[in-house]
């Protein structure tokens, strides 16, 4: 039965598209039953997501369960449908070097956005959110979880399911921009499973996804794109302005007031588009082939 389906999968592009789409959708939608399961144990992931997430056993456990389940779905598809391994999804490139480069790129992307917003605002304040009575060992402990258990784990989940897997599955069969668009829509909608819909945030997510897809497609390295994703989230959580949860890495709350509306809504997307274009230029110059 499986072999017959694999034959059909290899021969029919429509079947391939639907199958890959369903695998990606399943890797994201697995969060829905996990949210319901968490409720049975008194853990409300709907009201404790992102920057509002409380760092306690329940939230951490179900967050890791979601990640393991999502990666498991991709692993099953790779093993039984594509006859390949997870390592084929961009894991064979350099690890630390590319992750660090990507991390710096991600930090610069968000840092540049905040710089533009700050220069356009009437007032900018920096407010420390670390409690004065918190001990250094306790803070370091939470920060280690924040960086490895939250940022990198989250980036791995999303980049594997929304970038590496679909791009490798469809790379030889579909125009990359169609793949980027489809995955951008899924990536964006996936973020609203546990939060209210916001059009400006949705546009920002879509363009960010498009840029990240381009980075993976042209580099072939999941470590590079995980680094970019992690760097962006690190800056957002550490200095993001609306983040007061020091247990999730918040260091300083940047309060930016009276930003012109058009600058507020266009800065992030324009930076994302700029990064994508730079990636295209780097690809055409063979930069990725030389350094990966």
50 pLDDT tier (thresholds 50, 70, 90): low
Distance CA 233, CA 106 (A): 8
Q: Is the dihedral of CA 45, 50, 51, 56 positive or negative?
A: positive
Asked if residue 186 belongs to a domain, the reply is yes
| pLDDT value at residue 146 | 86
Buried b (16+ CB within 10 A) or exposed e, 151-177: bbbbbbbbbbbbbbbbbbbbeeebeee
Q: What is the pLDDT of residues 254-275, one digit of tens each?
A: 888 888 888 888 898 899 999 9
| pLDDT value at residue 291 | 59
* Average pLDDT rounded to a whole number, residues 187-203: 80
Residue 83 confidence (pLDDT) above 80: yes
Q: What is the pTM of this model?
A: 0.90
Asked if residue 63 belongs to a domain, the reply is no
Asked if residue 173 belongs to a domain, the reply is yes
Asked if residue 97 belongs to a domain, the reply is yes
Distance CA 69, CA 31 (A): 9
Helix/strand/coil (H, E, C) string of the chain?
A: CHHHHHHHHHHCHHHHHHHHHHHHHHHHHCHHHHHHHHHHCCCCCCCCCHHHCCCCHHHHHHHHHHHHHHHHHHHHHHHHHCCCCHHHCCCCCCCHHHHHHHHHHHHHHHHHHHHHHHHHCCEEEEEECCCCCCCHHHHHHHHHHHHHHHHHHHHHHHHHHHHHHHHHHHCCCCCHHHHHHHHHHHHHHHCCCCCCCCHHHHHHHHHHHHHHHHHHHHHCCHHHHHHHHHHHHHHHHHHECCCCCHHHCCCEEEEEECCCHHHHHHHHHHHHHHHHHHHHHHHHCCHHHHHC
Residue 66 confidence (pLDDT) above 90: yes
Residue 102 confidence (pLDDT) above 90: yes
Calculate the CA dihedral of residues 54, 135, 131, 104 and round it to 10 degrees: -70
Asked if residue 43 belongs to a domain, the reply is no
| pLDDT value at residue 57 | 83
- Domain boundaries, position 260: 87-285
Asked if residue 95 belongs to a domain, the reply is yes
> Which range, 43-47, 204-208, 226-230, 235-239, is most confident?
226-230
Residue 283, classified by CB atoms within 10 Å of its CB into exposed (0-12), middle (13-18) or buried (19+), is middle
Cα distances from 92 to residues 16, 20, 30, 99, 220, in angstroms, run 25, 22, 27, 13, 9
**What is the domain count for the chain?**
1
150 pLDDT tier (thresholds 50, 70, 90): confident
Asked if residue 292 belongs to a domain, the reply is no
241 pLDDT tier (thresholds 50, 70, 90): low
Distance CA 114, CA 120 (A): 10
């Amino acid at each position: 039965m499986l072999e017959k389906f694999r034959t059909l999968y290899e021969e029919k592009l429509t079947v391939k598209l639907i199958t890959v789409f369903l695998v990606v959708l399943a890797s994201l939608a697995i969060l829905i039953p996990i949210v319901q399961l968490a409720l049975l144990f008194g853990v409300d992931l709907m009201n404790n997501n992102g920057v509002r997430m409380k760092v306690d056993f329940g939230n951490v456990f179900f967050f890791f369960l979601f990640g393991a389940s999502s990666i498991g779905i991709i692993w099953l598809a790779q093993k039984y449908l594509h006859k390949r391994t997870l390592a084929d999804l961009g894991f064979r490139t350099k690890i630390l070097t590319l992750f660090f480069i990507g991390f710096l790129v991600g930090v610069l992307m968000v840092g540049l956005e905040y710089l533009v917003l700050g220069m356009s605002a009437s007032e900018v304040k920096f407010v420390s959110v670390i409690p004065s009575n918190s001990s250094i060992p306790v803070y370091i402990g939470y920060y280690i979880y924040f960086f490895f258990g939250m940022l990198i784990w989250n980036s791995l989940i999303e980049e594997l399911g929304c970038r590496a897997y679909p791009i490798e599955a469809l790379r030889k069969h579909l125009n990359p921009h169609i793949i980027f668009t489809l995955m951008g829509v899924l990536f964006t909608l996936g973020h609203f499973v546990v939060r209210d819909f916001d059009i400006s945030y949705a546009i920002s997510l879509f363009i960010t996804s498009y840029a990240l897809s381009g980075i993976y497609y042209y580099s072939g390295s999941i470590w590079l794109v995980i680094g970019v994703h992690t760097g962006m989230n690190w800056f957002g959580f550490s200095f993001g302005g609306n983040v007061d949860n020091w247990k999730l890495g918040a260091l300083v709350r940047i309060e930016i007031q009276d930003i012109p509306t058009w600058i507020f809504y266009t800065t992030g997307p324009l930076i994302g588009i700029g990064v994508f274009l730079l990636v295209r230029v780097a690809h055409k110059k063979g930069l990725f082939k030389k350094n990966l």
